[in-house]
Chains A and B, each alone.
Chain A
């Protein structure tokens, strides 16, 4: 049942209102005979609506209303002034002091009833809104906590990469907390390195989900020295099984042998890669030979790789389409021509130059996809040794 607080210094007026109210609506009436008591009762009894006399000794109705509204905060308690003053003055005063409405004396029962009901409805709507708000806050806290847990899971799975700073430079910039781009490196047991760089459909958590099985398969098979075509096949098989149709993983898998003179590449659905000599001459543009992973049936999967005879100091550049499809404020795309231009004309710091140009180009426009850029310098990498752990690093977040 609704609780209505009647505030008036004249006992006869309170009694009259109580009488009228009892006939109008089903409610509990509580009384205060001054402004201070009204404040105390509001805190103690939490009424649903207040009918307030204006002229009272010590604290008048307007002052009392201001104080009550300040205490109530988000809890909306409608205050209706009961006044003999003229309509115009009453209205502006009522609203200015934080009140919600007024009724004029002599009281009309019909008007009083309508106004009380209308304001109780508003109070109810306010309460619903406030409940929803609290639910949202709780939900948000819950989500944040879950996100933290999931982040931990990703970090732990992806942090096993072997990173030799002389051989590999990389830059990863996810669009949101979770990265749908993936870059992993593992040392081959016979010397040399294995590497996978790829891009799942979309971005955010759904895109990042797929990186977990890929990382597990990649590390396990690379440690055994499996041929990259077969690693690609296993990843394709598992993703095809796990992922919903329409999601896939564009990827480049590379094996650089221990003498660093032969590079095998399995490339599916990735934008072209650039192979440059030590002196910066463009040796070749490497195009994807295959579909992205996760689409093909295992029976029709093609494990064939392209083999390149590289020399020490040669560089290979890999990137996700987040680089070439980055937009500037004018809606213009960075584009593969611009990327190629930097690669063939710039000096010794191409990797840094690309990043610098990309940052300048996109300026303050919002990032619209996950971005990954990798530079591989062909150099000798010895077989894994137990004590050589100092080059291990986390590549998931920087």
Chain B
């Protein structure tokens, strides 16, 4: 599996991790990771420690997730971004929508 799903604190926190390339090929798998009732009420953290690159469709997938879960700007946290991934977030100013942390 390219997408990892781990619940912490009795389901109060969901950590989704993405391996290697975060791109359109993960569209369905990524959506499935958060499309359930437990995720709906959980705190969401996206762990990109093992993500090498991220493209614009991945950005779209993150926006879709935010809308689907009804999260406010900054409520979803994206952690462990490498330099290449940070570059994409910086260019697109995704810090307006997500709380973004470098590795």
Contact = CB atoms under 8 A, between A and B. Distances in A.
Interface string A239-277: 000000111101000000000000000001111100000
Mostly helix, strand, loop or mixed at chain B's interface? helix
B91 A246 contact: no
Contact of B63 (A250, A268, A295): A295
B60 A271 contact: no
Contacts of A245: 60, 63-64, 67
Contacts of A287: 91
A268 B56 CA distance: 13
Given A201-B57, A269-B91, A271-B91, A296 B96 contact: yes
B97 interface: yes
Contacts of A250: 56, 92
Given A201-B56, A248-B60, A291 B67 contact: no
Contacts of A295: 63, 97
Interface string B8-28: 000000000000000010000
B93 A291 contact: yes
Contacts of B57: 201-202, 246
B40 interface: no
B13 to A, nearest CB: 24
Most chain-A CB neighbours within 10 Å: which of B56, B60, B97? Answer: B56
Mostly helix, strand, loop or mixed at chain A's interface? loop
Question: What class of interface size applies to chain A in its complex with B?
Answer: 20 to 34
B91 A288 contact: yes
Interface residues of B, number: 15
Contacts of B94: 291
B60 A290 contact: no
A210 interface: no
A35 interface: no
B61 interface: yes
Interface in B22-77: 24, 56-57, 59-61, 63-64, 67
A201 B57 CA distance: 7
Contacts of B61: 246
Contact of B92 (A202, A246, A272, A288): A288
A202 B92 CA distance: 15
Interface in A79-123: none
Contacts of A202: 24, 56-57
A297 B97 CA distance: 11
A197 B61 CA distance: 24
B63 A269 contact: no
Contacts of A246: 57, 59-61, 63-64
A292 interface: yes
Most chain-B CB neighbours within 10 Å: which of A246, A287, A292, A295? Answer: A246
A270 B67 contact: no
Given A201-B57, A245-B63, 9 more contacts: A202-B56, A245-B67, A246-B59, A247-B60, A248-B59, A289-B93, A291-B94, A291-B96, A321-B56
11 contacts: A246-B63, A247-B60, A248-B63, A250-B56, A250-B92, A269-B92, A287-B91, A288-B91, A288-B93, A296-B96, A300-B96
